[in-house]
Structure 1
């Protein structure tokens, strides 16, 4: 996820190196949430279950093995394909806290799930800000 322009000054100068160290040295190129490999295209069912090509088994959204599910070529369900890209995220959502234990290497899915409360909080603030601007310049807010 790109860093917003207004938050760029909160990150250290060596953020790229720090991020690469977390994603590729500590996490060994796999998501720390579900185990998906960076840079590879994975098959998934859309509900978190994905096909681990290395182990030739299905995994769930937390990286655990799924039992009683046939290989992808024998399923009748629609199967999607996604390119996995790892990103380093802050566990406490504070970009100034760059301690290694606060950083995690997550794929897109795990990152969005981790950031969901923060996204909802920001969305609420955006709605309130728009409503306040509407009240200020166009009179009372009408539904």
Structure 2
């Protein structure tokens, strides 16, 4: 865990390299001066991400150490798909086991 200064939009201060970085980790030059002490700080914890979204594939080439923000951005599409799949599955189960007449009565109210 490490405290990191950031601008809230993905840009952050790399104290080791003494430069600002973009949300993708590339060096950037910021135009306009500001006081580094007034910039927000947050604790950053690295998490191990599976690049192919398969937790069963833990080969070193499939793993990456990402901060929380980058990990969530990397997994965003997978999380959207998983939410859709859960809703679809629950609706399918309900269609199998609920009496369709009860469903129509609820809709008529």
Matches within 5 A, 1:25-64: 39-64=1-26
User: Which has the larger strand fraction?
Assistant: 2
Q: Cα–Cα, structure 1 residues 98 and 81, in superposed 2: closer, same or farther, change >3 Å?
A: same
Cα distance in 2, alignment partners of residues 127 and 88 from structure 1: 28
Unaligned runs of 5+ in 2: none
Listed one character per residue, the Cα deviations across residues 74-112 of structure 1 (whole Å, up to 9, x for unaligned) are: 69xx84322111111111111111111111111101111
Retained in 1: the 8 A contact 2:20–2:30? Answer: no
Instruction: Select the structure of larger CA radius of gyration.
Output: 2
User: What is the CA RMSD across the aligned residues, in angstroms?
Assistant: 2.7
Q: Which of 56, 64, 73 does residue 113 from structure 1 map onto?
A: 73
1:72 & 1:64 partners in 2: Cα distance?
20
Which structure ranks higher in relative contact order (CA pairs < 8 Å, sequence separation ≥ 6)? 1
Question: Which secondary structure state, in structure 1, belongs to the residue aligned with residue 35 of structure 2?
Answer: helix
Partner of 1:4: none
Matched residues, number: 102
Structure 1 residues 121-130 or 94-103, which shifts more?
A: 121-130
2:87 aligned with 1:139: no
* Aligned position for 1:86: 46
Question: In 1, Cα distance between the equivalents of 2:75 and 2:27?
Answer: 25
The answer to whether the aligner puts 1:128 opposite 2:92 as a matched pair is no
Give the TM-score normalised by the residue count of structure 2.
0.75
